[in-house]
Amino acid sequence: MSHKESLNFQTEVKQLLQLMIHSLYSNKEIFLRELISNASDACDKLRFEAIQNATLLEGDPDLAVHLEIDKEARTLTIRDNGVGMSREEVISNIGTIARSGTKEFLGKLSGDQAKDSALIGQFGVGFYSSFIVADKVTLTTRRAGASESEGVQWESSGDGSFSIETLEVPTRGTTVTLHLKEGEEGFLDAWKLRGIVRRYSDHIQLPIRMKKDPVPPQEGEEKVINEPEEETLNQANALWARPKNEITEEQYQEFYKHVSHDFEAPLAWSHARVEGKQEYTELLYIPARAPFDLWEREPRHGIKLYVRRVFIMEDAKKLVPQYLRFVRGVIDSADLPLNVSREILQESKDIDTIRAGCTRKVLGLLEDLAENQKEKYQKFWNEFGRAFKEGAGEEYANREKWAGLLRFSTTHTDKSDQTESLKDYIGRMKDGQDTIYYVTAESFAAAKNSPHLEIFRSRGIEVLLLSDRVDEWVVSHLESFEEKQLHSVAKGDLDLTKLGVEKPKLETSDSETLKPLLEAMQGALGEQVKSVRVSQRLTESPACLVVEEGDLSGNMARFLKSVGQSVPTSKPILEINPDHRLILRLKLETDQQRIADWSQLLFDQSLLAEGGQLEDPAQFVKRLNQLILN
Ligand SMILES: Nc1ncnc2c1ncn2[C@@H]1O[C@H](COP(=O)(O)OP(=O)(O)OP(=O)(O)O)[C@@H](O)[C@H]1O
C-alpha cells in the first residue's frame, strides 16, 4: 500500500523557505554543502549504530555520498547509504522545525534582506536550502534495518505543502533529487560541482563520489561509450587527524561551517593532539556570532565526540561546561571504548578529564585573543559575554583565568560597551584603595546615573557599571579578584576614609539638628524602611536606598521576583543628603503631614531612580502634584 498523502508545511517552514530563497541567492552553492553535511551525519549515525548491530550495514559497509547528474532530466542527485529515515522521521524532520525558539527567531526578522540573510546564517538552513536552486525536490529514503517495503518518498515544490508516500526502496539511505530551476543549469556541470565539493567538503571523512566525465573518442577511434568510472572528489579523511601544517586556513574554516552549520567564518580555533592520562585530538572553534538559540534550554550543534574517527554523539554539555556552550568542534578520543553508550559517558571519568582539558584550552585560546587580538576578543565578548559570565557559579578550577577574561562597563569609560577588565580596573585604583566597587541596575542608564555613584564620581573613584541580569549572579559568586574584594556601592555603610573621603560632618554637629527629622521620616515611612540615616554617598541627589551588607540588593530582589522566585523580605535603608536644599528645607518644616508627604516622595523617588516599581504610582503622582502646588 503506497499510502500517499499531501501535508502542509508548518508555518515556520514556509516563512523560512521564503526567506531563504530570497536572501541566499548570491550564495547559492551552499545547498550542496548542506546536503553533503546531512549525508555525512547520516553515515556517522549509521556507523555508530552498527557497532551494536552490524546487520544494519546490510552487507554494504562502504559508506559514501554519490553525486549524479542527469542533463536531460535537469536533475542533480545526492545519494548516501547512511542511516536513512522512517516515514515518521521524514515528516518530523523535513516538514517541521522542532527547534525551540524558532518562532521567536522568525519574529525578529525585519524584512530587510541584507539584515535577514545574516540572521538566517545564525539559524542554519540545512535541507531547505535545496529550494534555492530547485523548483522541485524529491527525497527517497529507507531506514537502515527496515524492510524494503518501508521506503518513503517525499516530494515538494517548496510552495507550502509536500506529498509523502510509502514505497519499495531496495537499499538503505537517502537520495535527494533536485529538479533544477530555469537558469541553474550550472549545477549540471561536473567540473563546477567538483570545484564546489573541494571547496566546501574536502575535509569530510566520507568519500564524495561522482562519475568521471566520459572521454570523447579520439579521431578515427570507434565510438564505444563505456560507462565511466566513479572518482572520489574529496580527500575523504578526517581533517582533525591531519597534521596541522597540512591544513590551510580555508580548510579549517570550511570544516567549521560543516560542524557548526554556520555561514560565517569562525573567530578563532585551537587544534591539538593531547597525550597523557587521556589521548585525544581536539579541534575547537569560537564562532564569530551567537547562534539564535544560545539562550534556549537545549541549544543545538555543540561538540561532536568521536572515538578513533567513529562519531559517537553530539553533546556539548558533557564536553565543556554550560557557560562555554557556544564552542563548536570535534573531539576524537583514542582511548574510550567504541561501544561506549550515552549512559557510560555520563559517568565517565575519562570524559571528565577530556572536559577539563578542553575547558583549559578554550580559556587559553580566549586569553590569547584578549592579549594579542583585542578587537577579535571584543567581538567575542559582545556576542558571548553574557553566556560566559554564567561561569561565575560553574567555573571553580580555573577561577582566576575566567575572572580575568570578564569585561565590564565602568565609570572610567561611561559607555555601555563592556570593554574593561578587572586588571584594567585594578591598574587605575586610587592610592590606598583595596576594593573593587560596582553598582548593579536593570539598565545601563540606571547604573550610570545611579545616585549611589555620586561620591565616587566626585572623587574620581572608578565603579563597575553592571546591568546584565547575570551580573548579580557574577558578583554574588565572585567575591574577590587578585585579592581585592568586590563591593557594591549600594550596600552597607561606606567607609571611604582611606581614600581621603571624610565621614559626614553631621556625625558630630549636624546629627543633633538632623535627629528629629530622621526620626520623623522614619516614623512616616514605618515598615517600608529599616532606618533613615545620613548618607555618605550622595553629593547631588537628596536621597537613595541602600541595603545592609548581607542583604539582597534591590536589583537582585526585583530580578528574582520577575522569574517567580520567592524573595526573603529585607527592608532597605533610606539615606538622605544633609546638604541638599530639599533636606535643608525639610529640616525647617514643622507641619507633620508635609514631612510625611516629603518622606514618602523621597522614598518613592529613590526607588524609581534605582529602577524599582512603585506599589501605588497614582498616589505618587498625586502627592507630587500637591507638593508642587503648595
Ligand atoms: N541524508 C539524510 N539522511 C538521514 N537523515 C537526514 C538526511 N538529511 C536530513 N536528515 C534528517 O533531517 C533533519 C533535518 O535536516 P536539516 O538539514 O533541515 O537540519 P539539520 O542538518 O539538523 O540542521 P541545520 O538546519 O542546522 O542544517 C536532520 O537533523 C536529520 O535528522
Q: Which atom of ligand 1 is nearest to the CA of 127?
A: 17
Residue 118: per-residue pLDDT: 66
Q: 468 and 428: one domain?
A: yes
Asked whether residue 40 falls in the same domain as residue 129, the answer is yes
- The per-residue pLDDT for 172 is 96
Residue of 65, 93, 156 best suited for mutating to test ligand 1, as the one with most atoms within 8 Å of CB:
93
Average pLDDT estimate for 229-239: 89
Q: Which domain holds residue 326?
A: 240-391
Q: Is the pLDDT of residue 508 over 90?
A: no
- On whether the CB atoms of residues 126 and 38 are closer than 8 A, the answer is yes
CA-proximal residue: ligand 1, atom 26 (nearest): 124
Query: Residue whose CA is closest, atom 27 of ligand 1?
Result: 126
Q: How far is the CA of 499 from the centre of ligand 1 (A)?
A: 62
Read off the CATH number of the domain in which 424 is found. Answer: 3.40.50.11260
Tell me the pLDDT band of 228, cut-offs 50, 70 and 90: confident
- Residue 124 marked in a binding site: yes
Cα-based angle 290, 296, 301 (whole degrees, multiple of 5): 60
Based on the fold, state whether residues 539 and 426 are members of the same structural domain.
Answer: no
For residue 225, name the pLDDT band (cuts at 50, 70, 90). low
Q: In terms of domains, do 426 and 554 share one?
A: no
| Cβ 299 under 6 angstroms from ligand 1 | no
Most confident of 210-214, 216-220, 341-345: 210-214
Mean pLDDT score across all residues of the chain: 87
CA of 43 to the centre of ligand 1 (A): 12
Query: What pLDDT sits at residue 552?
Result: 78
**Is 413 in the same domain as 374?**
no
In contact, 165 and 3? CB cutoff 8 Å: yes
CB 409 within 8 A of CB 453: no
**Torsions phi, psi of 81, nearest 5?**
-115, 45
What's the pLDDT score for residue 98?
Answer: 60
The verdict on 418 and 335 lying in the same domain is no
Residue scoring higher pLDDT (215 or 326):
326
CA 18-193-179 angle, to 5 degrees, is: 45
Domain CATH code at residue 361: 3.30.230.80
> Which residues, other chains included, contact 78 with Cβ-Cβ below 8 Å and sequence gap of 6+?
32, 35, 36, 39, 65, 66, 67, 175, 176, 178
Nearest-10 crossing angle of helices 190-201, 30-52? 60
Please tell me if the CB atom of residue 302 comes closer than 6 angstroms to any atom of ligand 1. Answer: no
The alpha carbon of 367 and the centre of ligand 1 are apart by a number of angstroms equal to 35
Cβ(13) to ligand 1 under 6 A? no
Q: Which atom of ligand 1 is nearest to the CA of 45?
A: 4
> Is residue 302 one of the residues assigned to a domain?
yes
State how beta strands 573-576 and 531-534 pair: parallel
- Cβ–ligand 1 distance for 127 under 6 Å, the answer yes
Q: Is 174 annotated as a binding residue?
A: yes
Is residue 114 in some structural domain? yes
CB 473 less than 6 A from any atom of ligand 1: no
> Which has more pLDDT, 268 or 159?
268
Same-domain pairing of 563 and 579: yes
Q: Is the pLDDT of residue 280 over 90?
A: yes
Ligand 1, atom 11: closest residue by C-alpha: 93
- Residues 18 and 159 placed together within one structural domain of the fold: yes
Asked if residue 260 has its Cβ within 6 Å of ligand 1, the reply is no
State which ligand 1 atom lies nearest to the alpha carbon of 38.
8
Instruction: Check the annotation: does 343 bind a ligand.
Output: no
Q: How far is the CA of 65 from the centre of ligand 1 (A)?
A: 15
Which helix (H) or strand (E) segment holds residue 466: the answer is strand 463-466
What was the pLDDT predicted at 144? 96
pLDDT digits (tens, 9 = 90+) for 582-622: 999 898 888 999 999 999 999 999 999 887 888 889 999 99
Tell me the pLDDT band of 379, cut-offs 50, 70 and 90: very high
Confidence of residue 226 (pLDDT cuts 50, 70, 90): low
Residue 500 within a domain:
no
Residue 44: CB within 6 Å of ligand 1? Answer: no
pLDDT at 67 over 90: yes
* Edge-to-edge order in the sheet of strand 268-274: 268-274, 280-286, 328-333, 303-307, 310-314
Give the distance (Å) from ligand 1 centre to CA of residue 127: 6
30 in contact with ligand 1, CB cutoff 6 A: no
335 vs 84, residue with greater confidence: 84
Please state, as a whole number, how many other Cβ atoms lie within 10 Å of the Cβ of residue 370. Answer: 18
Q: How far is the CA of 23 from the centre of ligand 1 (A)?
A: 21
Q: Which residues pair with 435 in a beta bridge?
A: 485
Tell me if 90 CB under 6 Å of ligand 1.
no
Q: Residue 494: inside a domain, yes or no?
A: no
Pick the more confident residue, 212 or 84: 84
- Pair (415, 559) in one structural domain: no
Smallest CA-to-CA distance from 599 within 572, 566, 623 is with: 623
CA atoms within 13 A on the CB side of 239: 25
What DSSP string runs through 471-498? HHHHHHH--EETTEEEEETTBS----GG
pTM score, whole prediction: 0.79
Least confident piece of the model among 67-81, 502-516, 570-584, 594-608: 502-516
Index of the ligand 1 atom closest to the CA of residue 261: 26
By C-alpha distance, which of 407, 418, 390, 416 is closest to 294?
390
Give the confidence band of 160 by pLDDT, cuts at 50, 70, 90: confident
- Percent of the chain scored above 90 by pLDDT? 54
Q: Is the shortest distance between the CB of 291 and ligand 1 below 6 Å?
A: no
Q: Clarify whether residues 386 and 424 are in a common domain.
A: no
**What is the count of structural domains for the chain?**
4
Amino acid 86: pLDDT = 96
Last residue of a domain, one of 173, 203, 235: 235
Q: What is the pLDDT of residue 141?
A: 97
201 Cβ closer than 6 Å to some ligand 1 atom: no
CATH number, domain with residue 176: 3.30.565.10
More confident residue, 228 or 480: 480
Question: Which of 201, 235, 269 represents a domain boundary (last residue)?
Answer: 235
State the distance from the centre of ligand 1 to the C-alpha of 33, rounded, in angstroms.
12
Question: Which residue, of 190, 206, 235, is where some domain finishes?
Answer: 235
What's residue 301's pLDDT?
Answer: 60
Question: Of residues 114 and 626, which shows the higher confidence score?
Answer: 626
User: Atom of ligand 1 at shortest distance to CA of 173?
Assistant: 3
Has residue 448 been placed in a domain? Answer: yes
- Tell me if 28 is assigned to some domain: yes
Between these two residues, 81 and 504, which has the higher pLDDT value?
81
* More confidently predicted of 465 and 260: 465
In a domain, 549, yes or no: yes
Same domain (yes/no): 206, 253: no
Percent of the chain residues topping a pLDDT of 70: 91
Is residue 507 pLDDT above 50, yes or no? no
pLDDT at residue 388, rounded to an integer: 96
* Of 426, 415, 419, 411, residue with least CA distance to 379: 419
Reference 489, options 509, 466, 473, 508; nearest CA is 466
Q: Which of 19, 46, 49, 127 to mutate to test the pocket of ligand 1 (most atoms within 8 A of CB)?
A: 127
Is there a domain that residue 402 lies in? no
Residues 571 and 612 in one domain: yes
